[in-house]
Structure 1
Amino acid sequence: MYFPKHVEIIEVGPRDGLQNEETFVPTESKKVLIEKLALAGFNRIETASFVHPKVVPQMADAAEIATFCRELGMKFIALTPNVKALQRAIDAGVPQIAVFVGASETFNEKNVNRTIEQSLAECTEVFQLAKKHHLFIRGYVSMCFSCPYEGEVLYEQVKRVVSHFVAHGADEISIGDTNGQANPKLVYERFSQLKKDFPHTQFVGHFHDTNGFAYVNILAAIQAGIEKFDSSIAGLGGCPFSPGATGNAATEKVVQLLEEMNVETNIKQDALKEAAHFANTIIKN
């Protein structure tokens, strides 16, 4: 088996982990969580989403969170699904932005009320504006292995979205097992094919733990040459448009797994455990 010397873990808990919480998490609590995660050693943290507050009330404080992250001097990512959201992020001084498109037509329509073609066209405008402002661009591809509405997702469906992202200058592309139904064989094959077809593209693995396979899927992705992974503190998260999907792979478990195999993450595990404990307290209140 192949084990790299180092793997980058991108913490997505403050955005992807908290966005679906029904009870609003106080802005000050979010700031404390972000600071604890920064102190644990993360190079990048996804902290906010500039979507309309009526759509995702939990992210209504995105601009304030962005200001806080800038004051900390940290690298952070914000979700900007359209040009209006991107302009707000630019005004807030966000250095790295992200867009998302589903590989499944049905999921994409349920998630954002747009066809994949419409979403890709919107992403083109976002990419153009982001490039003008010299921002780092992340592209999320959701439902890359199976879909709760359509079943099996074919490689060509994933490739369609990835090709568009690559053609328009994405700096990295996160491949998501959004409903947590992937298995290690499929993960290895899919990432191997992506690496073959797009050898110069930086891919990130993004796994949910619905079936309890997230951690073995991470190992399978590593065997295919993937060395960047998203994870969420305390396993927070889920997707409202993916019935039955549970949270993301828990950051503290991912880090422990990798470090015990002598794969460096540069994350301080004691500080990470403290952050995980705090994350659990703020979502219970």
Structure 2
Amino acid sequence: MIKLIECPRDAMQGMPDFIDTAIKAAYINQLLEIGFDTVDFGSFVSPKAIPQMRDTEEVLSLLDLHRSKSKLLAIVANLRGAEDAFHFPEIDYLGFPLSVSETFQQRNTNASIAQALETVETIQNLCQTKGKEMVVYLSMGFGNPYGDPYSPELVAEFVQKLDDLEIKIISLSDTVGLADNKLIKELFKVQFEAFPEIEFGAHLHSRPESISEKVEAALEGGCRRFDGALKGFGGCPMAKDELVGNMDTEIMIDTLESKGYQLDLNKRELIEAVKLANYVFQSPL
């Protein structure tokens, strides 16, 4: 079974102009009508670091969750953010960005890898007592632009540490679009074989012309969980100066369906969401 995770949070967070809270909520409510497995809707992080996400709590209060089968995921970068997220029973998943790059970990969460791992352990322990599940995003999982050490073996070392903490969902993240198809296929294949009890996801960033082949490479490696954003908007503002867009959800859907996968999505609501995305991300705000 394919799981599609739609990421309006990732699409919005790097936008230079603040998107009105009501517009954010209207857009996410439209996404909730489509039937995605999960919607990554917001983050509990410092408003100084990510000003766009300063209204996540307000947005959550405006979401109509009664008719939607989608689960909600919120990103946290430290214990304080996790404690804020724990107040909301509507949130199913807490996502944490752990990096195999020391430079990016510092840039993204203002902490070392060692400190971040300690935070992961603390949040995971709390998730287990509070009925939520942790999703760890292993960022710079396919290489980094900083010259920090990288190898598939290093990724496996991180996965082993997370497995020891009983993390059950790990999303391998190509934060700056460096991954080639061979690496994508092999990295997923090796991880699935070594850790069959873990659900591995693909959070890839890509130029539009490379999306289909990256999806196919991940599929061949065994991946069945994919993050994306309508129209491919977004990217990580902490990674480098130029944003590399998210995987375009429409292209991913077309690719997956061409391979015979049944996604059980409401296409009429998807069309309406694409129209709204064009307004949210391209019109003057």
Fold agreement, TM-score > 0.5:
yes
Contact 2:32-2:65 at 8 Å conserved across structures: no
What amino acid is aligned across from residue 156 of structure 2 in structure 1?
K
* 1:199 is aligned to 2:193: no
Cα separation, partners in 2 of 1:210 and 1:105, compared to 1, 3 Å = farther
Aligned to 2:40: 46
* 1:120 is aligned to 2:117: yes
* Residue pairs, 1:174-253, within 5 angstroms: 174-210=171-207, 212-243=209-240, 244-253=242-251
Q: Helix, strand or coil for the counterpart of 2:62?
A: helix
Aligned to 1:162: 159
CA offsets 1:145-188 (integer angstroms, 9 cap, x no match): 11011277201221232222222122311101111111111111
* Residue pairs, 1:37-116, within 5 angstroms: 37-69=31-63, 71-72=65-66, 74-93=70-89, 94-116=91-113
For 2:271 and 2:93, the matched residues in 1 are separated by: 26
Q: Helix, strand or coil for the counterpart of 1:98?
A: strand
For 2:139 and 2:166, the matched residues in 1 are separated by: 19
Q: Helix, strand or coil for the counterpart of 2:30?
A: helix
Q: Helix, strand or coil for the counterpart of 2:256?
A: helix
For 1:69 and 1:120, the matched residues in 2 are separated by: 32
For 1:82 and 1:15, the matched residues in 2 are separated by: 17
Cα separation, partners in 2 of 1:169 and 1:65, compared to 1, 3 Å = farther
For 1:245 and 1:164, the matched residues in 2 are separated by: 30
Q: Percent identity?
A: 29
Q: Which runs of 5+ in 2 are unaligned?
A: none
CA offsets 1:46-87 (integer angstroms, 9 cap, x no match): 101000212211111111222334744542000122111111
- Size of the alignment, in residue pairs? 279
Q: Helix, strand or coil for the counterpart of 2:13?
A: coil
TM-score for the superposition, normalised by structure 2:
0.92
For 1:272 and 1:152, the matched residues in 2 are separated by: 41
Aligned to 2:272: 274
CA offsets 1:210-269 (integer angstroms, 9 cap, x no match): 484232111111111111101111111112233334111111111122123321111223
Q: 152-161 vs 77-86, which deviates more?
A: 152-161
Aligned to 1:23: 17
Contact 1:147-1:153 at 8 Å conserved across structures: yes
Aligned to 2:137: 140
Offset of 1:8 from its aligned partner?
1.3
Aligned to 1:10: 5
- From 33, 36, 42, the equivalent of 2:30 is 36
Q: 269-278 vs 83-92, which deviates more?
A: 269-278
Q: Helix, strand or coil for the counterpart of 2:222?
A: coil
For 1:259 and 1:35, the matched residues in 2 are separated by: 24
Aligned to 1:254: 252
Q: 21-30 vs 148-157, which deviates more?
A: 148-157
Structure 1 runs of 4+ aligned residues shifted over 3 Å read 68-74
